[in-house]
Amino acid sequence: MPVKISVQPPAKPRKKPRQARAQATVDAITQASAHILVAQGFEGFNTNAVAERAGVSVGSLYQYFPNKESIVAEMVRAKRARLLSGLQAAEVVHQEEELPEALAALVAATIAHQKGWPQLSQALDRAAALVPLSEEGAALTAAILDVLQRVLRRHAVTDVEVAALDLLSLCRGMIDGALLRGETDTAALQARVMRAASGYLGIAAA
């Protein structure tokens, strides 16, 4: 049965924690949210369940998040920001290298980002389609693609916009699938992803 949510403004936190105790409360809320999302999906996710698991009152939760969509939106933003940071760092370090090596660095950064809790990563990707993310969320996604596009342009790949979208989908699909199966050999996974990405681009794998 499809999930129904009301149309509403972009989901944003009500306020930012400014003290250690407040940050601990927000951390408990997001950790509880992560466990519930993985176990029950967006359908079983609600503020009462989150507050109970986090060990805080619903009133305390509402001080920071006005609804469940705002919790998920904040988690998605944080996830995308961490991935973007890793990709940007990899791009800078390997910007003078050939395309296979530069692409391998981006793949490695993506694997490192996804492998911590692949079930949560997948749950957040599904939930992202159900929450009203702000322009910030869209900008983070665009920035992630921009990193890949810059690398491709640097090496004269044609039609970079489509290529970046395809490569991101290809790599994340393979990485998520492998990690969800419980694979732990990230070097072997990276080699397989690189073979697929290199085949798509018609280049030799690093």
CATH number of the domain to which 29 belongs = 1.10.10.60
Domain harbouring 123, CATH code: 1.10.357
pTM assigned to the model: 0.80
pLDDT digits (tens, 9 = 90+) for 25-53: 999 999 999 999 999 988 889 999 999 99
Domain co-membership, 99 together with 186: yes
Which pair of tokens denotes residue 48?
A: 């009462």
Residues 187, 94: one domain? yes
How is residue 1 written in tokens?
């049965």
Residue 8 lies in a domain: no
* 95 and 60 in a common domain: no
pLDDT greater than 50 at residue 1: no
Q: Do 80 and 41 lie in a common domain?
A: no
Last residue of a domain, one of 8, 37, 66: 66
DSSP state of 189: H
Please list, in sequence order, all residues whose beta carbon lies within 8 angstroms of the beta carbon of residue 165, skipping any fewer than 6 positions away: 145
Give the 3-state secondary structure of residue 34.
helix
Asked whether residue 181 is domain-assigned, the answer is: yes
Q: For residue range 80-96, list pLDDT tens digits in order.
A: 899 999 999 999 999 99
Please tell me the total count of domains within the chain: 2
Q: How many Cβ atoms are within 10 Å of 22's Cβ, its own excluded? A: 15
Of the candidates 5, 3, 30, 40, the residue with the CA atom closest to the CA atom of residue 133:
5
Of 31, 66, 101, the last residue of a domain is 66
Structural domain harbouring 185: 74-201
- Do 80 and 144 fall within a single domain? yes
Q: Which of 48, 66, 84 is the last residue of a domain?
A: 66
The reply to whether 31 falls in a domain is yes
Is pLDDT at 55 greater than 90 in this prediction? Answer: yes
CA–CA gap between residue 121 and residue 179 (Å, rounded):
10
Q: Are residues 88 and 56 in the same domain?
A: no
Would you say residue 129 lies in a domain?
yes
